Every structure is written in C-alpha cells, then in structure tokens.
A and B are shown apart, each in its own frame.
Chain A
Amino acid sequence: MNKTGLQLQQVTIRFGGLTAVSQVSAEIHPGELAGLIGPNGAGKTTVFNLITGVYAPTEGNITFGGAPLAGLKPFEITSRGIARTFQNIRLFGSLSVFDNVRVAFHLHLKQGVFPSLARGPSFHREERQLAEQTRQLLDIFQLDRVRDEPAKSLPYGDQRRLEIVRALATQPQLLLLDEPAAGMNPAEKVELMKLIQFIQDRYKLAILLVEHDMKVVMGICQRIHVLEYGRKIAEGTPSEVRENPAVISAYLGQQPDAAPVQS
C-alpha cells in the first residue's frame, strides 16, 4: 500500500463556459473512509470522473501514491489501484454474476489471445485459480447462490452489491462508490453501511463515498468533504461538518435575519 493516497491539487474543470469543479483540493489517506457530499449539481460525480480519467482536469493535478494520473486512460487508472461503481448501475447485464466478477480479475491475468487458443496446462491452471478466487469473493458477499444468473435479472439491492464486488475484484487500494444507497429502503441502507465497513476492515482499502443520504454518510465516514457549486466549502469529521454554518446554509439556505456566514 502506498503512503500518500489520493491527492487533488487545485483541480478545475470547465465545460465551455461552465466551471463544473473549481479549485478543489482534497486528500484521501490510505485506509480512510471518506465522504463527498453536496447539494444536487455540486459536482460530486464530476470529481469522480476526474479521478477515474473519464475527464481530464482543465487545471490542477491529481496524484495517486505520489504518481500523477494526468493523461491516463480509465483502464490504466484502474490498474493503478482505483476502482469505482456507478451512480446508475452499470453491470455487464447479459453476463452471469460469476462472469461479471471474473472479468474484473482481468488486470491480474497473464493470458491473452494465444493461450486461450492453445489451452495448455498453464492456461487451465490460471483459469482454475481465477474461478476459485471469484467463487471465494462471491461467497464472502453471499452472491454464490445466484452465480449463474444473468446480472440483469438480480434484484436491485443485489445488483448494487455485485457492482461493489466486481470493483473489489480489480484489487483496488481506493474504492470510489457513487451513491451506493440510491434507491434503497432504510433496512437496505443499514445493510449497505455494514457492508462498506466490512469491506474497509477486511481489505484495508481507502473508500471515497458520494452520497445524498446523510444518515449513511454521517454514520460511517471518518472525514467528509463538502462541495457546493463546484467549490469545496468545508472539510472535517462528521460532527465538525454538521456544525459548519457554510454547510448548513448550503443545504438549508440562509435565514434572512442571520448574520452573513464566513467561509
């Protein structure tokens, strides 16, 4: 595990005249469970897309483990140890649950076109090993019983879980979860919180969580970064953020007679 984690330095991105993210700096330490919150349209998903290489920042730097991520394609960033899930679930719908996870082990696969055709002993050894790893991972997250079902036929909660498991199969050091609790009922949210904490405990990785549900964020995050209109307005522990006047006014609006807030 690298010592420096993920660093965003003065990151800005403009789409035409619109500055979606402006001068955002943040640091996610190794092994930390961090949250990224903000009202709708604050630029949270854009920050994810910047980190994962979907967009390149207009200004500023993003480094992971001390190495810059600029100019890397999304699959290269994944190979550096950053995996993600999507706000709208993006599974490989027609593939089985098993294959969804197996494909994600791809980064750690030695084989390619010619071993697949020749099918020698080392090919079979690697396939067996991979099947075993996949089975174990599915087992841990109780998806083993549906391993042969096409991913799109799973219930919503299982699809969310499978997406997280698939991301874990890339063996990341940093896991980005984009609104994992969206569309879940309260009981499922409690399950999800347990799941996230379990993952952090077991795999010792850093997790950055974008989430609207304050109960989830405040309940599990160690550190919270708050965005509004593409700017970072606050950072701190859940209780610090909860007391922060700038955050309160961003979420609830300002009381007309209240004193202007210093930020």
Chain B
Amino acid sequence: MPSWLNRSQLLLMATLAVVGIAQSLSGRLDSYILSVAMGVGINIILASSLNLINGFTGQFSLGHAGFMAVGAYTAAVLTGRLAPQWSPLFGGQVFLLFPAALIVGGIVAALAGALVGAPSLRLKGDYLAIVTLGFGEIIKVIFQNLEFVGGAKGLNGIPDYSNLLWVFGTAAITVYTVWALLNSSYGRGFLAVADDEIAAEAMGLNTTRYKMVAFVVGAFFAGIAGGLFAHLNNSINPSGFDFNKSIEIVVMVILGGMGRHIGVILAAILLTVLTEMLREFGDYRMVIYSVLLILLMLTRPQGLFIWPTRKAARRQNA
C-alpha cells in the first residue's frame, strides 16, 4: 500500500503549508487567541511524544516535564545568554538561530532521556514511574540551584521567537514521526513490547533497545516543546516544570486513549482550551477541572476519543 504511505507524507506537507499561510495572517489575530493556539500546539507535541512511550510502548513515564525543562533551559540559554557568541554563525538570522537552538535543546533532552533510560528501563510499571518521577524532581531542583540560569527565579527576557509556524510545524513533524515509526514492520515491535515483553524477547526483539528508542525520541520532542514554550512565554522557572506538568501530559494521553494518534491530539486540544475557559472561575478552576476529569474517567475509561477502527467496523458489519 505504498500510495497510502505516500499520502501521509503529503498530509505532512499540506499541514506545513497551511501553517505557513496561517502564520502569514497571524498579524491580524488577537494576541491572546494566538498564544492559546500556540499552547495547544506545544501540548500536542508533548502529548504525542509521551504517547510513544506510555501509549504505544506500554512504559509508564512521569518525567516528561523534566525533559521539557532540559530543552527549555538549553534553548533559552542559547538564544539569550550565548547568542552573542554563536549567533554570528547564522549571520544573526533568527530563522536559522532559533531552530538550531530548539534542536540542540531537543538533543540535550534526548541525552538526558538516554541517561535516565539506560539504568531504569529494566524496571516495569510502577517502578519505572517512580524513577522517572524522581528524575523530574531532580531536574527541577538542579535548575533551582543553578545561579547561571536564575535559580528559583528562573530565566526572564527570553526573546519571543515562537510563532505559529514553528509550533505547528514541529507538532506536525512530531505526529508524523510517531505515526511513521509505528506504521512499519520495525515499528510493530513497540506494540509487541507493550503487549508481552517476554514473548517479544523470545521472538528476537531487543526489547531494551525498543524502549530506549521510544524514550529518547519522546524526550527529544519534549525538549523541543520546552524550547518553544520558553520562547512563547518569554520566561521560565523551575516550578513550571514540576510533577503537575508531567501529570497534565499523562492525562492527555490517557484521555485520548493510550496509543491512539488522533485521540491524543484531540485530548491535548480539549484540555488546553478547557483550562483557558475555566480561568474565569478563579480559584475554583482546578476543582472544576478535576471533577470533569473524574467524570470523564468514570464514563469513558477507555479514553474520550475512541471509536471502532475501520477494520473492526467491517468485522461487525460482516
């Protein structure tokens, strides 16, 4: 079915083109709407990349905010503090400097992912969750104590380089990457690892390597999302990347239906918009949010956006 596969790449191109047009018109949009839209895009990147780890590969990581922090700080330091030293390399051009900073941020986050993954991916389920949770907290405390990046006050005055093009362009690439990785004979291995690790190993799959790839790719995109986040909000501080942020992303993955491409994107959109809409309730915002989550989990435990796949539907009709 090569024509179908090529369609996915076509779709990626089309998405990028639409985002390009949207960006050229963004001057006319309300700046609040614009920032919420970019928040949606960043959450799509975070949720889709975590979906690779938690949804498709069946691991349970609670450290996504930690990887995000690593990418955010790396990119922010590169475009802020270190820009005078190395931006001449790019002729001072933001459209070259910014993606380079984002990618370096992603790579450093991926290295952090490899560093955490190597000793801990032998653990399963709850144990891995605890190790990654610990990692997230360690990252937070490290940044709180690094005076170079502002300590607990965080970094301010980060240039606002993020725009619709960068955010949704990256989101489209993230979704494509996760999709393309899974829709291949190689990629079915991730699902096999999630289903039965012992059987996967017995069929010749290097399960540790699969988990590592999921972890590193997931961390890479979380790092890029962090860079985009930093250059959207103009300031970052360590407590913005705490346990709650990780949980927020995990909720998107669960609500979207673990291991569903579209469902997780829809959940990321819904939850981002929902948090914004609940702002007018002030202090009660999180209470309402939590109640809604509990209701959703009681009524749709399999995920909000699950519908029968085409094949399953055909089976039922037959």
Interface string of B179-196 (1 = CB under 8 A from A): 011011111110110111
B204–A106 touching, CB < 8 Å: yes
User: Main SS of the interface on chain B?
Assistant: helix
- Chain A: interface residue total (CB-CB under 8 A): 43
A263, B47: Cα distance in complex, Å: 65
Note all chain A residues with C-beta closer than 8 A to B202. Answer: 52, 74-75, 78, 83-84, 86, 90
Instruction: In the complex, identify which listed stretch (B70-78, B141-149, B205-213) lies at the interface while the others stay far away.
Output: B205-213
A104 and B181 contact, Cβ closer than 8 Å, known pairs A95-B195, A99-B188 = no
Residue B9 is within 8 A (CB to CB) of chain A in the complex: yes
CB of A94 to closest CB in B, whole Å: 6
A91 and B199 contact, Cβ closer than 8 Å, known pairs A109-B186, A116-B184, A124-B2 = yes
B195–A93 touching, CB < 8 Å: yes
Q: Which residues of B contact A (CB under 8 A)?
A: 2, 5-6, 9, 177, 180-181, 183-189, 191-192, 194-196, 198-207, 213, 217, 311, 315
A119–B9 touching, CB < 8 Å: yes
Interface string of A164-180 (1 = CB under 8 A from B): 00110110000000000
Q: Which 4 pairs, one residue from A and one from B, show the smallest C-beta to C-beta distance?
A: A78-B204, A90-B199, A92-B195, A107-B204
Note all chain B residues with C-beta closer than 8 A to A117. Answer: 177, 180-181
B185–A86 touching, CB < 8 Å: no
A170, B183: Cα distance in complex, Å: 20
Note all chain B residues with C-beta closer than 8 A to A119. Answer: 5-6, 9, 180
B203–A91 touching, CB < 8 Å: no
A197, B12: Cα distance in complex, Å: 50
Q: Which residue of B lies closest to A148 (CB)?
A: B311
A103, B188: Cα distance in complex, Å: 6
A92–B199 touching, CB < 8 Å: yes
Q: Which A104-141 residues have C-beta < 8 A from chain B?
A: 104-107, 109, 111-113, 115-117, 119, 123-124, 126-128, 130
From B183, B186, B194, B196, A106 is in contact (CB under 8 Å) with: B186
A124, B188: Cα distance in complex, Å: 15
A111–B195 touching, CB < 8 Å: no
Q: Can you list 26 pairs linking A and B with CB atoms under 8 Å apart?
A: A75-B201, A75-B203, A86-B199, A86-B202, A90-B199, A91-B195, A95-B192, A99-B188, A102-B188, A103-B205, A104-B203, A106-B186, A106-B204, A111-B184, A112-B186, A113-B186, A113-B213, A113-B217, A115-B184, A116-B181, A116-B183, A117-B180, A119-B6, A127-B184, A130-B185, A148-B315
Note all chain A residues with C-beta closer than 8 A to B186. Answer: 106, 109, 111-113, 115-116
Residue A25 is within 8 A (CB to CB) of chain B in the complex: no
A116–B201 touching, CB < 8 Å: no
Note all chain B residues with C-beta closer than 8 A to A74. Answer: 198, 201-202
From A73, A91, A94, A106, B185 is in contact (CB under 8 Å) with: A106
Total cross-chain contacts (CB, 8 A): 109
Give the interface centre of B177, B186, B203, B315 by most chain A CB atoms within 10 Å: B203
Q: Which residue of A lies closest to B195 (CB)?
A: A92
Residue A79 is within 8 A (CB to CB) of chain B in the complex: yes
B185–A109 touching, CB < 8 Å: yes
From B185, B187, B203, B213, A166 is in contact (CB under 8 Å) with: B203
Q: Which residue of A lies closest to B311 (CB)?
A: A148
A115, B202: Cα distance in complex, Å: 24
A98, B196: Cα distance in complex, Å: 16
A107, B200: Cα distance in complex, Å: 11
CB of A162 to closest CB in B, whole Å: 12
Note all chain B residues with C-beta closer than 8 A to A112. Answer: 186
CB of B263 to closest CB in A, whole Å: 15
Q: Which residues of A contact B (CB under 8 A)?
A: 52, 54, 73-75, 78-79, 83-84, 86, 90-95, 99, 102-107, 109, 111-113, 115-117, 119, 123-124, 126-128, 130, 148-149, 166-167, 169-170
Q: A74-B198, A90-B202 are in contact. List 5 more A-B contacts (CB 8 A).
A: A83-B202, A94-B191, A104-B203, A106-B204, A116-B186
CB of B225 to closest CB in A, whole Å: 19
From A90, A109, A130, A148, B198 is in contact (CB under 8 Å) with: A90
Q: Which residue of B lies closest to A79 (CB)?
A: B204
From B2, B188, B206, B207, A95 is in contact (CB under 8 Å) with: B188
B207–A75 touching, CB < 8 Å: yes
Q: Which residue of B lies closest to A92 (CB)?
A: B195
A102 and B185 contact, Cβ closer than 8 Å, known pairs A78-B202, A79-B204 = yes
Q: Which residue of A lies closest to B184 (CB)?
A: A116
A124, B6: Cα distance in complex, Å: 10
Q: Which residue of B lies closest to A74 (CB)?
A: B201
CB of B114 to closest CB in A, whole Å: 14
From A92, A94, A167, A169, B200 is in contact (CB under 8 Å) with: A92
B196–A92 touching, CB < 8 Å: yes
Q: Which residue of B lies closest to A52 (CB)?
A: B202
Q: Which residue of A lies closest to B181 (CB)?
A: A116
B181–A75 touching, CB < 8 Å: no
CB of B228 to closest CB in A, whole Å: 21
Q: Which residue of B lies closest to A152 (CB)?
A: B195
